[in-house]
Amino acid sequence: MLIITGTMGSGKTSVLGEASDILTQRQIPHAAIDVDALGLAHLPSGACNDAVMYGNLQSVCKNYAAIGVQRFLLARAMEDGDQLERCRDIVPTANTAVCRLTASIATMKRRVKMRETGVSQRDYIARVARLNVILDRARLEDFSVTNENRPLTDVALEMLIKAGWISG
């Protein structure tokens, strides 16, 4: 399993997609999953978004594993060790690498501002720096990759090489 972490605007979803395309071109079976998308909901009172999100992840991974998928590429800001352990418990694989995508706060805020044009834009932009501090404290990454002022393909290739999924 390779987990792509980073704050909002670091490029997790974009790098996830590009890494999936690179693996597909090389005929490497895998599943690419944006974990946050599995929990995008406003649930009835008393329901926990994280519980539903991780339950959905478990179902999706079980379906992929049933057809022989052994490599899982996940995008998710890992804020603490408990979140990382939940993913390790869910995803049926022996090895886990965590890649943190980095960029300047200004760049990440600009990306979020461009992407999030709706009613929560201000909240999302404010969360960029706060989440970055949380990730700095958690230090769950095995390695980091800079995702600023360089082609997306180069970022994804560097990540996949550092994770040992492909050779240079």
* Residues 6+ away with beta carbon under 8 Å from 94: none
For 5, the token pair is 């972490």
Counting Cβ atoms within 10 Å, is residue 116 exposed (0-12), middle (13-18) or buried (19+)? Answer: middle
Instruction: Give me the domains of the chain, ranges plus CATH numbers.
Output: 2-162 (3.40.50.300)
pLDDT tens by residue, 95-125 = 999 999 999 999 999 999 999 999 999 999 9
The pTM score is 0.96
Report the pLDDT value the prediction gives residue 92, as an integer from 0 to 100: 81
CB 30 within 8 A of CB 4: no
pLDDT tens by residue, 2-48 = 999 999 999 999 999 999 999 999 999 999 999 999 999 999 988 88
pLDDT higher for 76 or 46?
A: 76
